Amino acid sequence: MNYLDNFKNVIADYRTRIDERLSSYLTEETNLISYVNMNGKYPSSLYEPLNHIMSGGGKRIRPLILVLSCETFGGKFEGAVDAAVAVEILHNFTLVHDDIMDNANTRRGKETIHKKWDVSTAILVGDELIGLSYRSLLKTRSRRIDDVVRSFTDGVIEVCEGQAFDKEFETDDNVSMNDYFLMIKKKTAELIRISSVIGSIIADASSEDIKGISTYSQNLGFAFQIQDDLLDVIAVESEFGKKIGGDIHEKKKTYLYLKALELCGNDERKRLIKLYSSNDLRNDTTGDIIDIYMRSGAVESAKAEIKSFTDKANESLSRLKTEDAKHRLRSFSDMLLNRGY
């Protein structure tokens, strides 16, 4: 078995162990019997939809990078797993509320909460998830717990700011590529970066080491979001877990849209703007837009940008002292680079 195959097995094992801790934590927090014993009542309208969405699986990118970052600087899985569960729950909070704002029908192949129940229920579930994420985070045993909580809280604020930009840009006809990168820095890259920083703090890493892992994970976050933009138009829908072309229907100012505007000739650019501004985006219209992305070179540009940010992430690992740590994190980068969902 080669190194990459072995590493994939390690990641699969970590994902299983994170899922087990997540499941046991949520069972403990939402346990029917304990609620009935204590109160005689059970808030089923809250916990049934919460467990519906939390049982949907996921890539677990943020908890995995937290654990890997912790181990990079001498920490242990068990010391980091409660914080890993916390960032995964926080990530799911963002998804629940994003789905409301985007009016999404499915998430990870399951019906979204606001569709299966209603918007009020989904808002409440999102609020509960924030509380549960902090409760899990505070189980972490670290002499630097104040720094851990501060970093986590910074992440919450940045993600909300990023989502605000994302929604603003949907109706803004003058979004630049710089605007796009500011938005994804906050909405996507920051939570990935904060996850790695928290793992490093738990391991009591030096400020220099934290700076290095922060640069690594932020670049990885940029690559991850551009790849999500790309997968929205080229992925296999059954694997992707949500409708292909969803970003187009929501009029998201994605990397592909903005790059196509840069690369298209004047007539094609006008056509793309007209198609994108339509209030009746049908499947054939979505297909026409994807064709423009393909013809303009925007798809190839996105692939090149993903590789460039992944390379930058890997280059930033040079300051790490141990070769095994560098190898593991590079393998993690490669795994994300080659994902199909």
Q: What is the total count of domains within the chain?
A: 1
Query: Residue 3 is encoded by which pair of tokens?
Result: 């190194």
CA-CA distances (angstroms) from residue 70 to 13, 77, 196? 16, 8, 8
CA-CA distances (angstroms) from residue 184 to 187, 231, 238, 291? 5, 16, 25, 24
8 A C-beta contact, residue 173 and residue 212: no
pLDDT of 279: 77
Q: What is the mean pLDDT of residues 124-148?
A: 97
Strands (E), 50-127: 106-107, 110-111
Range of the domain at 241: 3-337
Q: What is the average pLDDT value for the chain, to the nearest integer?
A: 92
CA-CA distances (angstroms) from residue 152 to 83, 84, 166, 225, 304? 9, 11, 21, 20, 31
Q: What is the mean pLDDT of residues 55-81?
A: 94
Q: What is the mean pLDDT of residues 163-167?
A: 95
Q: What residue has token string 């994170």?
A: 18
8 A C-beta contact, residue 46 and residue 100: no
Q: What is the mean pLDDT of residues 268-278?
A: 91
pLDDT at 110 over 90: no
pLDDT of 237: 67
pLDDT digit string, tens, across residues 200-255: 999 999 999 999 999 999 999 999 999 999 999 987 666 666 677 889 988 999 99
Query: Residue 77 is encoded by which pair of tokens?
Result: 């899985």
Query: Residue 239 is encoded by which pair of tokens?
Result: 């694997």
Q: How far apart are CA 118 and CA 170, in angstroms?
A: 24
Query: Residue 182 is encoded by which pair of tokens?
Result: 């500011």
The CATH number of residue 220's host domain is 1.10.600.10
The bridge status of strand 110-111 relative to strand 106-107 is: antiparallel
* Long-range contact pairs involving 139-147 (C-beta distance under 8 Å, separation at least 24): 139/82, 140/79, 140/80, 140/82, 140/83, 140/86, 140/202, 141/79, 142/79, 142/201, 142/202, 142/204, 143/204, 144/201, 144/202, 144/204, 147/201
